[in-house]
Amino acid sequence: MINWLINIIPKALAGAGTGAGTGAGTGGGLLNPLGVDTIQKIIPKVLSNLVVIAVPIGAIAIIYGAFQMLTAGGDPEKFTKGRKTIMYAAIGVAVVLLADSIILVVKSILGA
């Protein structure tokens, strides 16, 4: 890990100022994996990748919460813990799915 950092930092710094961060120029620096250079272009790419990751994780969390409820064995505390797991997973997935809409609402409020 340390060797990798020692080798990569000089290469990144060598490309500074030559456009290497955006893939332009011949500085030999690191290429930008997203291919964008402004925050307005980065946010949609991050959100689309977040949906791909968050939805399966949310589904797994909901299944885990259901498993907690099924194995509670009459213990109300464990049953409540499972119910909260399902509720928080559903809220998290809903927020991720509505993230684009939330951004549009904030933009309209701020007048952007």
Q: Which residue has the higher pLDDT, 24 or 70?
A: 70
Buried b (16+ CB within 10 A) or exposed e, 70-95: eebeeeeeebeebeebbeebeeebee
73 phi/psi in degrees, rounded to 5:
65, 35
Predicted local distance difference test score (pLDDT) of residue 20: 45
- Mean pLDDT, rounded, for 78-99: 94
Render pLDDT for 7-66 as a digit per residue (tens, 0 to 9).
666 665 555 555 444 545 555 677 777 777 787 778 888 888 888 899 999 999 999 999
pTM of the entire predicted model = 0.61
Mean pLDDT of 62-78: 94
